[in-house]
Amino acid sequence: MSLRIGTRGSALALAQTNKVVGMLADRGIEAEVVTIATEGDTATGVPLHAIGGQGVFVRALDDAILRGEIDAAVHSMKDIPAARPAGLTCCAVLERDSPADFLAHECPLDAVSVIGSSSTRRRAQLLRDAPALEVKQLRGNVDTRIRKLREGQYDAIVLAEAGLERLGLRLPGEPLPTDRFVPSPNQGTVAVVCRDDPAVAGAFAPLDHAATRLDVEIERAVMEEVGGGCFTPQGIYCRDGNLIAEVLALDGSRWERIERHVATVGEAREWGRALRVQAAALIREAYAALGVNS
C-alpha cells in the first residue's frame, strides 16, 4: 500500500509528518508527503480568533482528503476543532510528547516585561501570574517567532515545548508548570486524520497509543462541553485520568477551575458541563470582548 499524506508546509508540521512516515516505513508502508497551504499559514497578520480560530490550520487538509487528493493528514491535535466533517476519522493518536508551554527568553527572567503570544489562554495565564506584564500579539511559525525574540521585539515568547523538541531546538528559558499554566486541550499530541475507509485507517492503527488517546479524548470531551474554542481562555489537561480544567477572564483577573480524577469520556462530559455553568459569565465576557457571536 502507498499513501498520500497531507501536511502544512511549516518546519514543525513537516517534522511531525516525517515522523509518521518513518513509523509507517518501519511497518513496510510507503507514503508520499503532500504539502498544502492553509489560511492559518497565509493570514499571519491578524489574531487567530479573527480568522476563525485554530480550525484554519485544518480545513484545507480536511477538504483535500474529502476531494480524494490525499489519503490522510497529520496535525498537532490541539489544532483540530471539535466539530468535524462527515467522512473523516481520527485513525491514530501518537504517544504524547511534553504538554507544557515553554517560556523562551535571552535576558534574565526578572527583566522580562514584554511577552509575545497570540493565544488568549497563554495571555490570561501569564497575566494571572504577573499582572504587570505586557503580552503582545505574536503570529507566525516557530522560526519567525524566534527571530522576533532575537530582534528584541519581545523580552520572551511562549511556545509549545513539544514543538521545540520535535524540531531539535534548544532555547534559553524554562517549561512552565502545567498545574499553573494548564495547557490547551491535546497540546503535545500528534494525530492522523484520514478518510473513513477501513483500509486506510487500518494502515495507521498500529501507530495509535491507547493511553494518550483516552487522555486526549477526555480533554476534548471537556472542551466540547465548555465551548468557546480558542476565543475563551481555557486550559484542559489530563494525565492518566487526572484532569485539570479552567476557564479564565481575558485579563487573568478571575477564573473557574476543576480538578478531578476522571475514568471515562462520559464522566468528562459531566464535569465539562459543570465547568461551563461555573464559568458562564467569563465565557460571555470573552465572546463580547472579542466581538464573536456565541
**Which residue blocks in the chain are alpha helix, DSSP H?**
11-25, 39-42, 59-66, 120-129, 142-150, 161-167, 198-204, 210-226, 265-278, 280-290
Least confident of 52-56, 136-140, 230-234: 52-56
CA trace torsion 194, 94, 56, 29 (10° rounding): -40
Q: Taking residues 66-94, what's their average pLDDT?
A: 93
| The CATH classification of domain 1-94+189-208, taken from the options 3.20.20.70, 1.10.3660.10, 3.40.50.300, 3.40.190.10 | 3.40.190.10
Note the Cα 59 to chain centre separation in Å: 15
The answer on pLDDT for 179 being more than 60 is yes
- Interacting residues of 255 by C-beta distance below 8 A, sequence separation 6+: 124, 128, 246, 247, 248, 249, 282
- The CATH homologous superfamily to which domain 209-289 belongs is Porphobilinogen deaminase, C-terminal domain (3.30.160.40)
Mean pLDDT of the chain: 92
Task: Report the predicted TM-score, pTM, of the whole model to 2 decimal places.
Answer: 0.88
Tell me what percent of the residues of the chain surpass a pLDDT of 90: 82
The answer on pLDDT for 207 being more than 70 is yes
pLDDT class for 289, splitting at 50, 70, 90?
confident
Least confident of 19-33, 195-209, 217-231, 239-253: 217-231
User: Is there a common fold for 1-94+189-208 and 101-175?
Assistant: yes
**The pLDDT value given to residue 44:** 47
Q: Taking residues 39-59, what's their average pLDDT?
A: 55
The answer on pLDDT for 81 being more than 90 is no
Using alpha carbons, select from 66, 19, 97, 98 the residue that is nearest to residue 193.
66
Each domain of the chain, given as residue ranges in start order, spans 1-94+189-208, 101-175, 209-289
pLDDT tens-place string over residues 226-285: 986 667 899 999 999 999 999 999 999 999 999 999 999 999 999 999 999 999 999 999
- What's at 106, amino acid-wise? E
Scanning the structure block, which residue is given the C-alpha cell 514543538? 163
Residues composing the chain: 294
Inter-residue contact 89 to 196 (CB < 8 Å): yes
215 annotated active-site: no
The answer on pLDDT for 40 being more than 80 is no
Fold topology of 101-175: D-Maltodextrin-Binding Protein; domain 2 (3.40.190)
**The pLDDT value given to residue 96:** 98
Active-site choice (62, 79, 101, 155): 79
Paired strand residues for 262:
none
